[in-house]
Structure 1
């Protein structure tokens, strides 16, 4: 945003939300903590650029903490396992840092997350948008089995391309956990009325009665759910995704890397302001948010990869993207 736009944004926010702790905590992370982390310390030095790594298929588990992965996955079953540092603490930030403005004609991206389409819709040979074709209105997410089906078709149709397979899980909504279902996804930068899931975070101030939880992380901050129950549901959502990944690996060949775009925080304190953080606010570089798994398994012979042309998302797809973001509560 320009300086004028920033001032207008803050003034409008103050006018509408001056007495709303949700709004204030978001602004602290947006204008103070996040910029300190990205521009001063620790920055993005040493973080992994996923397109520079050696893989034929890259599986992305949305919002998967590294310690959750090692708890739920049998890491000894992989040919190689290490922890890497992500370039973002939200999907939007991760996509911008890894793909935006790129020319990846050797790559097909199968995505359940609309932010890939919004931020890097013209970067790939083909973009397969499961968020548009396979969104489950009842569960308010894209189920992992739909992503597997699309990924299998992509491997068959594009045998000479790298394939990225982006599952929505373990990101909430937690499938099958109705007591942990809240308002759903929201877009970053919005006021409390359409609270930002992508910037969901918390300090130690007490919530007011006029607020309600918009995400499980907000509910944890407000004392509506226990940390243990939330962690278990988070892990169960990851297990669903890992089972789907196993199904996919039974059907493809090549070197498969499994990673995540970012993690989540469950009340750990950040710095330099020692505030508790919940969810995954933009720009925060705590290890709980940016330390992610990198598991590698070789399944059969490597694929021969050839570069092709990139294709932009069409105007009609852009319209559909806006409709789906609205359905998900982003706009």
Structure 2
């Protein structure tokens, strides 16, 4: 009761935040019922590349640097967070399509939704977000998919597998390697690749310079809300976008099919007073995601280095903390 009263008082003092709170809760419910956005399985593609938090304008800004990025359209996402997107996309209503779909995921909530069925009692990790209780979800299960791999589990193996930053999340090479291997070994109709980048923390420059993360790279939205330099944060974000796009270039030379480069959701850097990607948000920079088509031909020039049988598993709690989902 006290917490509820506190929220009411805060809402009276800040009606904009109160309206946002109500709207976001409605957005969560609408996402869970499939009322928002375009479901990706409605579109034609063989390989769907998801760049976590990638904005439409960001991909358009760096597009001239990459031959495979041209005529970048946009799509209205079914979620404002990765977990919303996973829950709304992997819905039992799409079970027939999912049977011949492989999903290689870097987000720990793929475990919560697809392995645990949204049951917090079965989830070995931090408490799932309360907003899952505010929707009317119809989660598919891992068995409904042709294949499901939790890529973040491979991150901490032997010393040779350390391609990232200790404070970051699964480096893109893990996804690229597994995508190439799965594409060559199996014949799924659809392959969904869920990269972590350019989601914060922004590690690309720290890796290149062999240093610890700066505050604006580690916690960019805390930094911005404290009056930090927006341009500095955006440059770090774009460099992490380049970090993952360099991997996509490798992928496209070693896989076959019609490819779409998109995102699960976007990101807000203070537009309309919103930072990050709050659950249920209808913010245009969060809900609108890129939709860029290209083609890929496997030249066979690259041999994947990482194999699930030869890597130890990372803890789900650890990967969710790296993504900012747990304290």
2:202 to 174, 177, 180: 174
Note the C-alpha offset of 1:87.
Answer: 1.1
1:61 to 40, 48, 51: 51
Instruction: Kindly provide the CA deviation profile for residues 9-44 of structure 1, in whole angstroms up to 9, marking residues without a partner as x.
Output: x45x95xx99999xx99984774231355679xx97
Instruction: Kindly provide the CA deviation profile for residues 86-135 of structure 1, in whole angstroms up to 9, marking residues without a partner as x.
Output: 11111111111111434211111111111222223424211111111115
Q: Which blocks of at least 5 consecutive residues in structure 2 are unaligned?
A: 116-141, 157-163, 207-212, 299-312
What pairs up with 1:63-102 in 2 under 5 angstroms? 63-74=53-64, 77-78=68-69, 81-101=72-92, 102=94
Q: Which has the higher helix share?
A: 2
Residues in 1 aligned to 2:91 and 2:235: alpha-carbon distance in whole angstroms: 34
1:52 to 38, 42, 49: 42
Are the aligned partners of 1:65 and 1:288 in contact in 2 as well (CA < 8 Å)?
yes
Note the C-alpha offset of 1:319.
Answer: 11
Note the C-alpha offset of 1:253.
Answer: 0.8
Runs (4+) off by over 4 Å = 17-21, 24-27, 36-40, 43-46, 75-80, 326-329
Label 1:291 to 1:323 Cα distance change in 2 as closer, same or farther (>3 A).
closer
Q: Which has the higher strand share?
A: 1
Matched, 1:105 2:105: no
TM-score by length of 1: 0.69
Instruction: Kindly provide the CA deviation profile for residues 44-67 of structure 1, in whole angstroms up to 9, marking residues without a partner as x.
Output: 767220112111111000000100
Matched, 1:157 2:221: no
In structure 2, what is the equivalent of residue 231 of structure 1? 234
2:80 match: secondary structure: coil
Q: Which blocks of at least 5 consecutive residues in structure 1 are unaligned?
A: 1-6, 185-214, 270-275, 302-317
Matched, 1:295 2:292: yes
In structure 1, what is the equivalent of residue 264 of structure 2? 261
2:147 to 112, 126, 149: 126
Label 1:263 to 1:172 Cα distance change in 2 as closer, same or farther (>3 A).
same
TM-score by length of 2: 0.70
1:172 match: secondary structure: coil
1:170 match: secondary structure: coil
Residues in 1 aligned to 2:43 and 2:293: alpha-carbon distance in whole angstroms: 11
Matched, 1:242 2:245: yes
Residues in 2 aligned to 1:60 and 1:283: alpha-carbon distance in whole angstroms: 19
Residues in 2 aligned to 1:230 and 1:240: alpha-carbon distance in whole angstroms: 15
What is the aligned residue count?
Answer: 264
2:269 match: secondary structure: strand
2:146 match: secondary structure: strand
Calculate the aligned-residue CA RMSD, in Å: 3.6
Are the aligned partners of 1:38 and 1:44 in contact in 2 as well (CA < 8 Å)?
no
Instruction: Kindly provide the CA deviation profile for residues 289-312 of structure 1, in whole angstroms up to 9, marking residues without a partner as x.
Output: 1111101112249xxxxxxxxxxx
Note the C-alpha offset of 1:161.
Answer: 3.8
